[in-house]
Structure 1
Amino acid sequence: MTRAGIVDAAATLLREQGVHAVTTRAVAAAAGVQAPAIYRLFGDKDGLVDAVAEQVMAAYVAGKPPAEGDPVADLRTGWHAHVAFGVANPELFALLSEPGRAQRSPATAAGAEVLRGRIRRAAAAGRLRVDEERAFGMLHASGVGTVLAITGAPADARDPALADAMWDTVAAAVFTDAPASPADDLVALLTTVATVVPSLPALTAAERAMLGEWINRALHHLR
């Protein structure tokens, strides 16, 4: 109970006043505990900030709606929700964008897996122009960059259409308008086939692995 109260108090300070307000003294006062309790539970201020970031991010990821319907429309909705979350939580987003902190965050990893799963749905529907890993990198980078561009500008100088413009630009490079056919896009077709290789019947695990390797090699050559 004490740990939860401390994290909640620190999250409120972070949200209302920014990361610089999350001091051991301020958090202890807000949570009604002594400072040694914070050191005992979290080690130091960085440990406390990590716990706060993890809690808020985990709640956000857990609240993501299930993917259903058109896979590209689902990705668009999720991408815009990600940008909106970052703009609403700029201090937290900046913390989670630090490479070291992001790499050790289970909640951030869970969010990445949600994105990968939705990209896999688009690939299985024949809607990718690029392979899944490239699609993940482009959507992730554009989402992070859009948030940082918006939050880095003065409130009265922000471009209200930036997020839509970024999505439209990246989506045009990542997705096809309709499922691919042989005459359309070899990369899209190979990417689609790659999604079903792990479950192909009548093949051994070694044969499926070899087929997956051949497809990935071809995709790498076609990039």
Structure 2
Amino acid sequence: MSRDAPRSPRDRILVAATRLLAEGGRDAVTTRAVSAAANVQAQTIYRHFGDMRSLLQTVAADGFQRFLTAKTRREHGTDPVGELRAGWDLHIEFAEANPAIYTLMYGERRPGPGADESTQVYEVLRGIVEQAAAAGRLALPVDVAAAMIYATGIGVAMTLITTDPTDLPAAQSLSATTRDAVLGAVTVDALEQPADHAADDVARHAIALQALLVADGNEDLGPAEAALFGQWLGVLARREAPAANPPGGASPD
């Protein structure tokens, strides 16, 4: 859709609602205001969108599409952990540049328009997490790591766009410090060789093998074999290192 010269009534309505939302928040998106800004009758809004709630859902869906476009247009590197860092920063930048639309996108759970787009955003993130796993860079199972990054990123973004910076002394560094803390918890360094933590090493390789098997499609394994092997790898991926002996070398009771 051309944002500079929308031609159809539907496009004009969507552009008007998006602008009103950005300038005045959700309360500014009323039937009367949208009608005036789009130069249409109220019934035209209802004919194209059903009601104002559906119109706002479509605005949110359009926001997700713009965010996905920004992610796909960005130049990508070869380091999956670096890609996770860049993706986090892009997410926060989009939220701060579009606070009202971002709040509409993530502030409430809704069916209908926007649901598929939000799933696509998560799947893009999960795909990069899978790449990190296949490279042996993931310390946690793919779904756990992806969920942690996704949820924490949204939480930081919502905090930054809804909190007065004077009420949050660490606001300026909040995104970077949280990003580094989360990625530090779910990834490992490419050169790290945790010889003194054999269980951690086993878990990391199990996670990598899980991701590689998914990417390969398990063509050499039957459904039952793939399910059983996946179950074994899942157990190894969640394996915990044994507790260290207490000072003096005595074994724990």
Taking structure 1 as the reference length, the TM-score comes to: 0.91
> CA–CA distance in 1 between the matches of 2:76 and 2:130?
11
Which residue, out of 184, 188, 197, partners 2:213? Answer: 197
| Residue correspondences, number | 223
Aligned-partner SS, 1:185:
helix
- Picking from 25, 28, 31, the partner of 2:38 is 31
8 A Cα contact 2:139 2:188, kept in partner: yes
Determine the C-alpha separation between the residues in 2 that align with 1:179 and 1:54.
41
Unmatched 5+ stretches in structure 2: 1-7, 242-253
Which piece of structure 1 moves more, 189-198 or 30-39? 189-198
Q: Closer, same or farther in 2 for the Cα pair 1:100/1:212, shift >3 Å?
A: same
Structure 1 residue runs of 5 or longer lacking an equivalent are none
Deviations along 1:146-179, whole A, 9 cap, x unmatched? 1122122214455211111101111110110116
Q: Does 1:165 align with 2:177?
A: yes
Q: Hey, what does 2:251 align to over in structure 1?
A: none
Task: Kindly state the Cα deviation for residue 193 of structure 1 after the two structures are TM-superposed.
Answer: 0.5
> Any conservation in 2 of the 1:72–1:175 contact (CA below 8 Å)?
yes
Deviations 1:73-99 (A, max 9, x none): 011000111011112222222222245
Name the counterpart of 2:105.
Answer: 96
Match among 142, 146, 161 for residue 132 of structure 1 = 142
Residue in 2 that maps onto 1:147: 157
Residue 67 (structure 1) shift: 3.9
Change (3 A) 1:182 1:194: farther
Which of residues 101, 104, 110 is equivalent to 2:120? 110
CA contact (8 A) 2:203 2:238 kept: no
Task: Show the 5 A alignment for 1:55-66.
Answer: 55-64=62-71, 65=74
Provide the alpha-carbon RMSD of the alignment.
Answer: 2.2
1:49 aligns with 2:56: yes
Structure 1 segment 197-216 matched on structure 2, within 5 A: 197-198=213-214, 199=216, 200=218, 202-216=220-234
Q: Which runs of 4+ in 1 moved over 4 A?
A: 155-158, 179-182, 220-223
Structure (1 or 2) with the larger CA radius of gyration: 2
Structure-2 change in CA distance of 1:27 and 1:155 (3 Å)? farther
Is the contact between residue 63 and residue 105 of structure 2 (CA under 8 Å) also seen in structure 1? Answer: no
